[in-house]
């Protein structure tokens, strides 16, 4: 499914402008700058359709992309972005939370965590919300190329252990680098199963 042409089709700044659900959807969530947009590019091997930036807070709307009529990939604005005004930040957060907890056809949320920084309170908040709304999610450690492999494994194990104690079921933590390509094929295989054929 990831071989299909990636096509941008909608952007939403408020809940009311979110397009009606048509095809299975996978959303990419996480703090600003964790590499959400880059991961979309790496998964589809189509650079330039999704914009990325080294300045946090580039993606400010919920952006909808489709792979033919089989799968919709959703690039969510990141949270925890330091430069935005409080009220702007709150509006983004409400938009994301609303989408994540109520969206029909949302098959999976990939929650991206920067391997170097680990989980932050905002990440836990989103996890709690997804648990409450029974939204399926998958934790993905990103930018594994910038830390030693042993530390990547340690981080993944920590997260997994953490969940064992207080949460019911969780998909195994996945590890990727959009830069080196490590783990991308694996994630692609997992996500492709959610597409419509
Ligand atoms: P917002 O839109 O601000 O929420 O950020 P984002 O999560 O979409 O991050 P984006 O994909 O724009 O990437 C942020 C920065 O991290 C860019 O400078 C990327 O080049 C860099 N980056 C993304 N993925 C990787 C990776 O796997 N390894 C390394 N080393 N850098 C990465
Ligand atoms: Mg982005």
- Taking 90 as the threshold, does the pLDDT of residue 93 lie above it? no
CA-to-CA dists, residue 139 to 11, 83, 112, 115, 176, angstroms: 24, 26, 6, 11, 11
Percent of the chain with pLDDT over 70: 91
CA-to-CA dists, residue 84 to 3, 37, 40, 69, angstroms: 36, 19, 24, 35
Q: How many residues does the chain have?
A: 197
Domain count, the chain: 1
What was the pLDDT predicted at 45? 95
What was the pLDDT predicted at 83? 60
ipTM of the complex: 0.98
Tell me the whole-structure pTM to 2 decimals. 0.93
Best of 11, 28, 29, 53 for a ligand 1 pocket test (most atoms within 8 Å of beta carbon): 53
* Inside any domain, residue 12: yes
Closest by CA to 29, choosing from 78, 63, 70, is 78
Range of the domain at 43: 6-192
* Spatial distance between the Cα atoms of 132 and 47, rounded to a whole number of angstroms: 35
* Inside any domain, residue 1: no
β-pair partners for 72:
25, 66
* Inside any domain, residue 80: yes
**32 within ligand 1 shell (Cβ under 6 A):** yes
* Inside any domain, residue 167: yes
- Taking 70 as the threshold, does the pLDDT of residue 170 lie above it? no
* Inside any domain, residue 49: yes
Q: At residue 171, what are phi and psi to the nearest 5 degrees?
A: -65, 150
* Inside any domain, residue 47: yes
What would the mean pLDDT of 48-74 be, rounded to a whole number? 85
Q: For the stretch 17-52, what's the b/e string if a residue is b when 16 or more beta carbons lie within 10 angstroms of its beta carbon?
A: ebeeeeebbbbbbbbbbbbbbbbbbbbbebeebbeb
pLDDT band, very low/low/confident/very high, at 147 (cuts 50, 70, 90): very high
* Inside any domain, residue 46: yes
First to last CA, the chain: 8
Stretch (H or E) spanning 98: helix 86-102
Best of 32, 38, 76 for a ligand 1 pocket test (most atoms within 8 Å of beta carbon): 38
**179 within ligand 1 shell (Cβ under 6 A):** yes
**56 within ligand 1 shell (Cβ under 6 A):** yes
CATH number at residue 63: 3.40.50.300
Greater model confidence, 72 or 84:
72
Among the residue ranges 90-94, 113-117, 178-182, the one predicted with the least confidence is: 90-94
* Inside any domain, residue 197: no
Among the residue ranges 44-48, 111-115, 177-181, the one predicted with the least confidence is: 44-48
- Taking 60 as the threshold, does the pLDDT of residue 169 lie above it? no
């Amino acid at each position: 499914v990831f071989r299909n042409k990636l096509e941008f089709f909608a952007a939403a700044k408020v809940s009311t402008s979110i397009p009606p659900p048509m095809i299975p959807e996978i959303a990419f969530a996480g703090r600003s700058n964790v590499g959400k947009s880059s991961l979309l590019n790496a998964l589809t091997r189509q650079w330039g359709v999704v914009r990325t930036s080294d300045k946090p807070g580039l993606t400010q709307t919920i952006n909808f992309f489709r792979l033919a009529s089989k799968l919709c990939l959703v690039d969510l604005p990141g949270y925890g972005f330091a430069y935005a005004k409080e009220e702007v930040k709150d509006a983004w957060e409400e938009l994301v939370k609303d989408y994540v907890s109520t969206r029909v056809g949302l098959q999976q949320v990939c929650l991206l965590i920067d391997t170097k920084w680990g989980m932050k309170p905002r990440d836990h908040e989103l996890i709690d919300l997804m648990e409450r709304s029974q939204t399926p999610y998958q934790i993905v450690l990103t930018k594994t190329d910038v830390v030693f492999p042993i530390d990547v494994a340690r981080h993944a194990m920590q997260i997994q252990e953490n969940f064992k104690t207080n949460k019911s079921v969780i998909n195994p933590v996945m590890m990727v680098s959009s830069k080196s390509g490590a783990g991308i094929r694996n994630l692609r295989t997992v996500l492709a199963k959610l597409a419509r054929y």
